[in-house]
Amino acid sequence: MWKNMNKPDFGVLDGLKVVHSATNMAGPMGATMLADHGADLIWLENPRIPDTSRSGIPLTVEIERRNCRTLALDIPSPQGREIFKKILEDADIYIEGWKPGTLAKWGLSDDVLWSWNPKLVIVHVSGYGQSGDPEYYTRGGYDAIGQAASGFMNQNHGAVAPFSCDAQAAMYIAFSSLAAYYRVCKTGVGESIDLSQVEIMMRQQLYLSDYATNGRTYGDESKKSATIAGWGPFTAADGQDIYVVGIGGNTMRKGADWLGLKYGSELNPEGNSIIAKGTAAGDEWDRVLTEYIASVPAATAEKELLAHSIPCTRIMTYEDVLNTEHWKMRGTFTTYKSSHGYDINSVAPMPHMANRPGQVWRGAPSLGMDNEEILGELGFSAEEIEKLYADGVINKRPVEDFRQ
């Protein structure tokens, strides 16, 4: 039985055992979300070809592989398979992200894994799913691919941001695995989850369902709303943009009235909460917002709009975010030591828990950093571990400096 004796007792998921062999972002990010709230997490990594993220964007590994231990294991090898079996026999959740069909090709189908552990929750993460048209489900899936293939990129006239698809998928990985685990605790029967990143991005789009139901299309939403007036960025006198979402009952009653759209008038009737784009009222709402915001500095516009119940914010830079006192007061950011010994400043585990908060207890491990510890917990002797190294079943590399 494996258990990390060095992990502090913390979080609402303390005692949950999670294993992942996913790469890049979505799968590992979902696993890290669980570990941030106390789950005991083991990362199984290819001993010969390290995770792509190790050579990608600086600090990717440090942020999305924190709070875990790593075992660099050749899973399909005979010895690796036996070690894999010992690990999963004692796991609650297993997350994998290989090309669909890879585990089955290795003789490690869901049924085989359940023969080892009938209660195991298995999460298969891929771009297009585990079944369907082979022309699709055999394709590689990455963040931008998920945005492009789901219609999301077209609707927004370009990729929205790096990792937006990965982050959405990660939240569904965390949610669905815990939902399945809740059911397993009641029934004792494991579950297999087929999570497609493209499908997740489809699920996030109301406009896609509207098109499927009504054939309705929407204009360019990459900047201002194509359907709602008063929604989007407006430029202040000092050149800084303010993003306004000018909707809601109080906004119409107080804010629009303050800017000249008298509440109760034909353009702003009582009970109104949204002004449609392309109408006389919509044109006027956009005009008065544009003219007012352009006449004053961004800080003044933000203060006055908020004072009159018009939701808005200056479009913040990272420097602005880090210097905002509100986030400091909430403990939004945390500092922890990397395995290399330097400080990592990162967003703390989210969301905030009142009674059992999450924490970062460890930076990202280097390849195979915890081989001996994990294998020792599984009952392997020092001599047996040395032979696994000699046979290429496990591997280890020096601690890396991910700042470069």
Provide the annotated active-site residues: 166
- Is residue 246 within 8 Å of residue 252, measured between CB atoms? no
Task: From residue 371, give the alpha-carbon distance in Å to each of 48, 181, 376.
Answer: 14, 27, 8
- Is residue 126 within 8 Å of residue 141, measured between CB atoms? yes
- 196 phi and psi angles, rounded to 5 deg: -100, 125
- Take residue 349 and report the two structure tokens written for it: 């585990």
Sort 231 into a burial class: Cβ within 10 Å, 0-12 / 13-18 / 19+: buried
